[in-house]
Structure 1
Amino acid sequence: MNGYAGFKLLIVDDHAHNLFTLRTLIAAHLDALVLEATSGAQAIDLTHRHPDIDLIILDVQMPEMDGFQTATLLKLRKRTRDIPIIFLTAAFKSEEFQQRGFAVGAVDYLLKPIDDSLLINKISTYFRLIEKERGLNRVLEQRVAERTAELAQARDYLENIITHMGEALLVLEPGGAIKLTNPAACRMLGYAPADLIGMGIGDVFEEDGDEAAGAFWGTWLEALIRTGALSKIEARFIARDGRRVPILFARTAVTDTAGEISDIICIAKDMTGYVRVATDPDPATTQERGERELPQEAS
């Protein structure tokens, strides 16, 4: 076997004996499949019927549509513009015609009579380049597929955590609108996920002394810009039915590469059933009293 089985080569010449010579030469050195065309129009038709052609050897001097015109049309079509073209000619040998050949997209411009070794070496070189490019593309595609799978796995893992976490999660836009939530927040507030998206944080949240919806937002934003996070506070969610749900609430700002806030992450723990009990950690001292949370005993 001579190699390059599976490659497809199109040879174009209006003289049958030239096609025979090319076909015989290529078959003696390479295992590529050879297609033949006797005109530019037939060559273009073959490229439509065989979109996997790897290389074209194109005679320049042909009636009706010469090699330059054929190459120009091939380069205009998306499916054929990247196929390498080697020009062969016995008549157009001047540098002017060679430059014209390269200008219309040829990768090589060879003169007849054909130098057998040179032509086979040229064909083999382009096949090797194509083979290498395909190998690199396969590696790249494999890496992209692996990375895509890793990202999907990481996304599913994160979504699973968010879905099953016991605390309510609200992700806000910098203006305070809710852009993402989790099932715990929906249960706590009594809203469907689609209903919560787009609502303002002031519609579902209030702090002590800030019963007016949204009255606290300017203070929040200023503090988040300054510190990036606000410590846990006691507050209330305003449920859909008007109930006030006591929560322990924390907020964190996420910034973009420019240092601007892109998201605000809010996490709330339902404190229903808990009461605050004052304790004296050390009765023998005069230290300030601490506080701890205890579950409220059932009556």
Structure 2
Amino acid sequence: MRTEQALQECERRYQAIFENTLDGIIIFTIQGTITGANASACRMTGFLPGDLVGKRVADIFSNDDAKKYLTGILRVVETKEPDARAVTVPNRGGTSRVSIRFSPVLGVDGSVVSVVGLARDEPGRGFRAAPGRSQKD
């Protein structure tokens, strides 16, 4: 009973951090499918959580950036070490430049079972409106 309570408390702490951090958090399968995204990641990309979950990176990002995402994810799976890179994300009719750090989530056997991406707007390289659109659009 006590173990179950501790597990529930741990889950609530995790959920509070996941939902309230200013950094975008996206959880990927080792094949690059999105299984979770927090509110900050949704704000960064302009997508609703339901629009991201179940999508592959190639469904959302440009070819060049999808390759960067997949390369980062695959490198993490192979090395079990974090990997960081800069990518462009779609956002409110324009794009934002973000730094993303991919980190492994290890299973009980030590293998990578998923990858967490922590995204942060790059200083001085934030929102850029699409041609013909203002930043207010």
Q: Could you say whether these structures have the same fold, taking a TM-score greater than 0.5 normalized by the shorter chain as the test?
A: yes
Alpha-carbon separation, structure 1, partners of 2:82 and 2:73? 10
The residue aligned with 1:260 is 111
Matches within 5 A, 1:210-249: 211=64, 214-216=66-68, 219-239=71-91, 241-249=92-100
- In the TM superposition, what is the alpha-carbon distance from 1:205 to its structure 2 partner? 4.0
TM-score when normalising by structure 1 = 0.38
> Size of the alignment, in residue pairs?
125
Tell me if 1:250 matches 2:101.
yes
Alpha-carbon separation, structure 1, partners of 2:73 and 2:40? 25
Tell me if 1:170 matches 2:20.
no
The residue aligned with 2:15 is 159
- In the TM superposition, what is the alpha-carbon distance from 1:217 to its structure 2 partner? 5.6
Matches within 5 A, 1:1-299: 144=1, 146-205=2-61, 211=64, 214-216=66-68, 219-239=71-91, 241-271=92-122, 274=124
The SS at the match of 1:184 is helix
The SS at the match of 1:160 is helix
Judging by fraction of residues, say which structure has more strand. 2
Alpha-carbon separation, structure 2, partners of 1:168 and 1:259? 26
The residue aligned with 2:130 is none
The SS at the match of 2:67 is coil
CA separation of 1:165 and 1:174: change in aligned 2, threshold 3 A? same
Q: Does structure 2 conserve the Cα–Cα contact (< 8 Å) formed by 1:178 and 1:197? A: yes
Provide Cα deviations, 1:189-214, integer angstroms capped at 9, x if missing partner.
Answer: 111111111011233445xxx52x64
CA separation of 1:218 and 1:164: change in aligned 2, threshold 3 A? closer
CA separation of 1:229 and 1:201: change in aligned 2, threshold 3 A? farther
CA separation of 1:147 and 1:229: change in aligned 2, threshold 3 A? same
The SS at the match of 1:257 is coil
Alpha-carbon separation, structure 2, partners of 1:152 and 1:259? 24
- In the TM superposition, what is the alpha-carbon distance from 1:156 to its structure 2 partner? 1.1
Moved >6 Å (runs of 4+): none
Alpha-carbon separation, structure 2, partners of 1:190 and 1:218? 21
Alpha-carbon separation, structure 2, partners of 1:188 and 1:217? 16
The SS at the match of 2:86 is strand
Give the structure, 1 or 2, with the largest relative contact order (CA under 8 Å, sep 6 or more).
2
Provide Cα deviations, 1:5-49, integer angstroms capped at 9, x if missing partner.
Answer: xxxxxxxxxxxxxxxxxxxxxxxxxxxxxxxxxxxxxxxxxxxxx
Alpha-carbon separation, structure 1, partners of 2:68 and 2:121? 21
Q: Does structure 2 conserve the Cα–Cα contact (< 8 Å) formed by 1:237 and 1:244? A: yes
Alpha-carbon separation, structure 1, partners of 2:76 and 2:18? 23
In our comparison, the structure showing a higher alpha carbon Rg is 1
Unaligned runs of at least 5 residues, structure 2: 126-137
State the identity as a percent.
18
Q: Does structure 2 conserve the Cα–Cα contact (< 8 Å) formed by 1:254 and 1:263? A: yes
